[in-house]
Amino acid sequence: MDSTRDVTGESPSPIPTDGPYRHGVASGDPTLDAVIIWTRLSEIEHTIAAVEWVMARDRALTDIVRSGAVTTSAEHDWTVHVDVTGLEPGSTYFYAFDTDGCRSPVGRTRTLPRVDASELRFAFVSCAKFNAGFFNVYGRIAERDDLDFVLHLGDYIYEASNTPPKNQTPGADIGRPFAPLGECRTLDDYRTRYAQYHLDPDVHALHAAHPMIASLDDHEFADGAWREGSDNHDPERDGPWAVRRAAAFQVRWEWLPARKPDPNQPERAFRSVELGGLAELFLMDYRSRRDRPVFGAEMSDPTRTALGAEQRAWLVDRIAHSPAHWRLIGNPSPFAQTWQPGLSDDLHRSMRALKFMHATEDTVDEDQWDGYPAERDAILTAIDAAGPGRSIVLAGDLHVSLALELTHPSDRTRPLAVEVVTPSITSQNLDEKLHLTPRTAALQIERDFVNVIPGLEWCELESHGYVVAAVTAEQIVLQWWFVDTVLERTGVETLGNEMVVLHGDPHIRPAR
Ligand SMILES: [Fe+2]
């Protein structure tokens, strides 16, 4: 493993379980010369708390490059964000906070690579359901010293109730109930839920080790969220959706180490990130701006939108015209159609459990991109305009590992781009949903999926893990890393698969 990204090799300091820094330290949204550093204060007795911060080249914080002071208060839920500027590109830094004479744990972060970088390496993840498992995936990523950043494709939190309605999978019986126990609906609820996540030692370790670039999916708001509601949002019981949506956005900005792409638009999360002259990373908001998911003929209405007019115009233009060598399209929910008509009941059972198809009918799941075919075609057309094999779609949300090839919307024989789907961090997949013994019946189901789903080159339907993408001008190597369980805290991970995509060639192949 390349260890050049941490020059010290020293182990991180543990996060205290009490005192002002119990929610840890974090960093995110790095640029060539800046990064956001974050912490959250507890047990503060003043109305406004003063916080000093320091950024250094070494973990001992002796070679200081920047320092300063900020304040926070209950208005920001005592969270602290500092946009530290004037840094060197492609460099590792260490940071800490001081308040009332108390020093925080030391975090490590890294700026984005130089514009002439020869390689970029990042992990990407999605779907961390607190009550479904331990965040071993975060713990293993935290141990790595070969990453420039961690990309989170969404479902950083789940807003769900600990006793959810029938259309959601309940948690595992492992003594990790959600706080609050009920579904998050108010500002206080979302703050309590994020605070619970930030008390987890693997969340601490992840954030203290790497900067995060985060997108978002529906559970940052509510299950099946769309522009004016969600599956279980009842305005009479829960109040106006706009108020709940604004609260969810506010708390996300408070508790993530993130920089608003437009400070005047707190409900804008979509943006792109330039990556070392090698790639442009597009981060999409697929949930908060979309038309209501519908089932039937209306689904094909060409005016229906998943992105909303502003985001769609931006994305289609940038994909088609970006000067970047690679386009990395961070897409919370996969583009690929994951259903085929006329399959056996057995296959349908697995596809329904995994939300690869409609819950009751022999058709697509309207909640996925399959439910917005016209807009998906517009994006695929932009990918085609950029040139085949110059884009790669990075997706999550389905909780399983997939390697797919996407084709031109009007010529299904013409491949355009590869789609790589990361498994969940903890959210339930095939064995947990169908109560199978792991790696038994799934082996045949996985072979059947590859045979019947167009463009599916490989899948693994039962493991939790993450994907590491190593990007050079010539190729992108994808490694799926799996943890052995999420039902207890363990340190074991294995390389589940390694595949490669060559620049200009819209196919994915085994790496060796
Ligand atoms: Fe999810």
By the 8 A CB rule, do 256 and 191 touch?
no
d(CA 230, CA 164): 14
- Model pLDDT for residues 50-63, shown as the tens digit of each residue: 999 999 999 999 99
The CA 127 to ligand 1 mean position distance, Å, reads 4
Query: How many angstroms separate the alpha carbon of residue 124 from the centre of ligand 1?
Result: 14
Going from the Cα of 126 to the center of ligand 1, the distance in angstroms, rounded, reads: 7
| Average pLDDT value over all residues in the chain | 95
Q: Looking at the predicted structure, is the pLDDT value of residue 25 above 60?
A: yes
Distance 3 CA to ligand 1 centre (A): 32
Beta strand 149-152 with 120-125 is: parallel
DSSP-assigned letter for residue 216: B
CA of 7 to the centre of ligand 1 (A): 35
CATH assignment, 112-510: 3.60.21.70
| Cα 387 to averaged position of ligand 1 atoms, centre (Å) | 31
State the helix-helix crossing angle for 373-386 and 309-321, rounded to 10 degrees.
20
Q: Whole-angstrom Cα distance, residue 286 to residue 359?
A: 21
Q: Burial, 181: exposed, middle or buried (Cβ in 10 Å; 0-12, 13-18, 19+)?
A: exposed
* pLDDT for 258 beyond 70: yes
Distance 448 CA to ligand 1 centre (A): 24
Instruction: Indicate if the pLDDT at residue 404 is higher than 60.
Output: yes
Give per-residue pLDDT as tens, 179-192: 999 999 999 999 99
Return the closest-CA partner of residue 459 out of 448, 473, 471. 448
Query: What are the b/e assignments for 199-237, b being 16+ CB within 10 Å?
Result: ebbbbbbbbbbbbbbbbbbbbbbbbbbbeebbebbeeee
pLDDT of residue 276: 87
Phi/psi for 318 (5° steps) reads -70, -40
Structural contact between residues 208 and 107, judged by C-beta atoms closer than 8 angstroms: yes
| Calpha distance 132→177 (Å, rounded) | 9
DSSP state letters, 451-462: HHSTTEEEEE-S
Q: Are 357 and 427 in contact (CB under 8 A)?
A: no
Q: How confident is the model at residue 1 (pLDDT cuts 50, 70, 90)?
A: very low
CA of 223 to the centre of ligand 1 (A): 9
Distance 218 CA to ligand 1 centre (A): 8
CA–centroid distance, 474 to ligand 1, in Å, is 32
Q: What's the CA gap between 318 and 327, in Å, rounded?
A: 9
| Confidence at 400, pLDDT banded by 50, 70, 90 | very high
C-alpha 217 – ligand 1 centre gap (Å): 7
Cα 290 to ligand 1 centroid, rounded to whole Å: 17
Whole-number pLDDT of residue 453: 95
Q: How far is the CA of 497 from the centre of ligand 1 (A)?
A: 22
Q: Are 504 and 459 in contact (CB under 8 A)?
A: no
Which tokens go with 50? 């003063």
194 CA → ligand 1 middle, Å: 16
pLDDT of residue 7: 44
CA of 303 to the centre of ligand 1 (A): 27
Work out the pLDDT band at 84, boundaries 50, 70, 90.
very high
pLDDT at 203: 98
Q: In which band, very low, low, confident or very high, does the pLDDT at 17 lie, cut at 50, 70 and 90?
A: confident
The alpha carbon of 399 and the centre of ligand 1 are apart by a number of angstroms equal to 7
11 falls in which pLDDT band (50, 70, 90)? low
Percent of the chain at pLDDT > 90 equals: 92
pLDDT value for 4: 42
Alpha carbon of 392 to ligand 1 centroid (Å): 21
**What is the average pLDDT across 113-120?**
92
Query: Mean pLDDT throughout 354-366?
Result: 94
Helices (H) and strands (E) in the chain, counts: 10, 22
User: How far, in Å, from the CA of 94 to the mean position of ligand 1?
Assistant: 32
- Binning pLDDT at 50, 70 and 90, where does residue 16 land? confident
Residues with CB under 5 A from ligand 1 (ion): 127, 155, 427
Higher pLDDT residue, 98 or 13? 98
On the question of pLDDT at 324 being above 70, the answer is yes
Under 8 Å between Cβ of 483 and 138: no
Query: Residue 89, Cα to own-chain centre: how many angstroms?
Result: 24
CA of 51 to the centre of ligand 1 (A): 35
What's the pLDDT score for residue 385? 95
d(CA 154, ligand 1 centre) in Å = 7
Distance 395 CA to ligand 1 centre (A): 11
Residue 253, H or E segment: helix 241-255
Q: In angstroms, what is the span from residue 282 Cα to ligand 1's centroid?
A: 20
Query: According to the model, what pLDDT value does residue 18 have?
Result: 82
Burial 132-164 (b: 16+ CB within 10 A, else e): bbbbbbbbbbbebbebbbbbbbbbbbbbbbbeb
What's the CA-to-centroid distance between 34 and ligand 1, angstroms?
Answer: 30
Interval 266-302: pLDDT, tens: 999 999 999 988 999 999 999 999 999 998 889 989 9
Using pLDDT thresholds of 50, 70 and 90, give the confidence band for residue 43: confident
Helix axes 241-255 and 187-197, enclosed angle (nearest 10): 30
14: CA distance to ligand 1 center in Å?
Answer: 29
pLDDT band per the 50, 70, 90 thresholds, residue 9: very low
| Residue 20 CA, ligand 1 centroid: distance in Å | 31
CB 191 within 8 A of CB 254: yes
Cα-to-centroid distance, 46 and ligand 1 (Å): 38
Residue type, 340: Q
What mean pLDDT do residues 114-143 have? 96
Determine the distance separating the centroid of ligand 1 and the alpha carbon of 455, expressed in angstroms: 23
Give residue 431 CA to ligand 1 midpoint distance, Å: 16
Q: What is the mean pLDDT of residues 82-103?
A: 97
CA of 494 from ligand 1 middle (Å) equals 22
* pLDDT recorded at residue 310: 97
